Structures are given as structure tokens and as C-alpha cells.
Amino acid sequence: MTPSARSLLRMAQHRPWPVPRRPWVTRQACHDVLFAHWPVHPRALHKRIPPELELDTCDNFAWIGVVAFEITGARLRAVPLVPGVSRFLQVNVRTYVRGGGRPGVYFFSLDASSLAAVRATRWALRLPYVHAAMSFERQDGRLYLRSRRESAAVHAQIDVGYGPAGPAAQTEPGTLDHFLVERYCLFARDQRRRLHNLEIHHPPWRLQVATAEIHHNTLVESLDLTTPMRTPLLHYAARQDMLAWWPRAL
């Protein structure tokens, strides 16, 4: 069942700062979320983030995340669901930063399966989405996502099968799991290279340990970064509902 925006806003005791007072503008639900995280030395990312931001670390490492999921119910406030825009697949590559004293997510890339959603999200949220050919299926209790982005400048793809491997639980403050997912502020450069800050809200994440077979992952390499050889830290979340506010230029 899809919770109302009012009920989502009432679940705010876990947030590190209050929910914005201005009206939210978009909402969506994320399903079958895979988090794959690799620790890297901060020097590898320090020059890859905008100077307005500070790289956020945990256990003396910076972290590169590849996050894959299906989105449903994406819409603007007071606007009905639009076929081809409200439901699509997404894969993003990100790291963790602090801006204005607040912990947040910095996106290196966001791939989506719907060209209409790419255009709408670029306009509404100033996030640098790009279109990719993507597929998603379920087989024998496993989830299989394939994504391939091809342009004149960048070729990037991932082929991954994954699924949960343990009970769901809320993350505990002070843990690495909490550091990686409990973020309520997004940062990204738009198509004109301007940095924007986007506030979001969601209930606490309920994570499960995950297993995954990752093949042909060139998403990180397409950014002139190197995917660490070690096995990633893997988590799964069945669903997360989110609200977002208009982005603000920094």
C-alpha cells in the first residue's frame, strides 16, 4: 500500500534535521533496491567532487556506491501519474559528501530507462540523468537488471543478478550501514555544470544483507575511476517511499 505524503512527513523523528517547511514537489517509490559499495582511499575521489563540498568518510575510507532499483509512482505534486514517466529503472553511481555542514549524496551519474523520465527529471530536479537501455526481471527468487548506456562519448553498462539473504532491519546510528543510506540531501551538477542541493525525505531504511553476481560493470570506469578489486558490501531493500523538494543552486 502506498502511504500518503502526510503520513510520510509524520515519520520524521529519525532525521538529522527538520523536514523543510516549504511544500514538497515530487514523490516516488523505489523497489528492489540493490546497494553495492566499495571502500576507496579518499585521495581517489578528493579531486572528483566540487570544491564547495567536503568528502565524507567512514572508517577512514571514502565510498563509491552503485545503486540499482525500479521506480514507481514518480510524479509532481498535484499531477496525475504519466505513463512512461512514472515508472522506470534506474542505476546511479555516487559517493558521500558534506555540504553546508550536512551529510549528503553526490551523484557522479544517473542512468534511467525512460527517455521521458530523463527529460522530466533533468528539468524538475536538476539531476544529470542520462538515458540507457535497461531490462529487469525476476527468476527463481532472484532479480536481474541489465543496463547499457551508449553515447558518442561514454559507453557504460552493468549486468547484475541479486537478492536478499537475511532479515530486514533498521540501521543503527554510528554504523557503516547507517552512514551509507541515511542521507537526506542530494548534490549534483546540472547540464550547465552548476551545483544544486536537493532535499529529500523518507522513512528509515530497512536493509537486508544481499548477495549479487555483478558482470560487465563499467559504470565506475566510465567516470575515469577504478572499481576496487575487493568484493563490494551488498545490501537490499524491498521498498522505500520518498518525497523531494525543489532543488536550490549553490
Residue whose C-alpha cell is 527468487 = 141
Distance CA 121, CA 153 (A): 22
C-alpha distances (whole Å) from 236 to each of 5, 14, 20, 36, 115 are 24, 20, 28, 9, 26
pLDDT at residue number 78:
85
Q: What is the pLDDT of residues 58-69, one digit of tens each?
A: 999 999 999 999
pLDDT at residue number 152:
54
With CA atoms as reference, report the closest residue to 104 among 19, 31, 187, 8. Answer: 187
**Strand 88-99 to strand 129-131: parallel, antiparallel, or no bridges (unpaired)?**
unpaired
Distance CA 152, CA 150 (A): 7
CATH topology of domain 5-249: Acetoacetate decarboxylase-like (2.40.400)
- Through-space distance between the first and last CA atoms of the chain, rounded to whole angstroms: 37
Residue whose C-alpha cell is 534511467 = 112
Flag whether the pTM goes above 0.75: yes
- When pLDDT is averaged across residues 87-108 and rounded to a whole number, the result is 95
Q: What is the pLDDT of residues 187-244, one digit of tens each?
A: 988 777 889 999 999 999 999 999 999 988 889 888 887 777 788 999 999 999 999 9
Query: What is the longest distance spanned by two Cα atoms in the chain?
Result: 46
Residue whose C-alpha cell is 533496491 = 33
- pLDDT band (50, 70, 90) for residue 115: very high
How buried is 209 (Cβ within 10 angstroms: 0-12 exposed, 13-18 middle, 19+ buried)? middle
Residue 126 pLDDT greater than 90, yes or no = no
Cell readout for 208 is 537486508
Structural domain boundaries of the chain?
5-249
φ, ψ for residue 130, nearest 5 deg: -135, 155
Residue 182 pLDDT greater than 90, yes or no = yes
What is the dihedral angle through the alpha carbons of 81, 87, 91, 97, rounded to the nearest 10 degrees?
20
Distance CA 2, CA 8 (A): 10
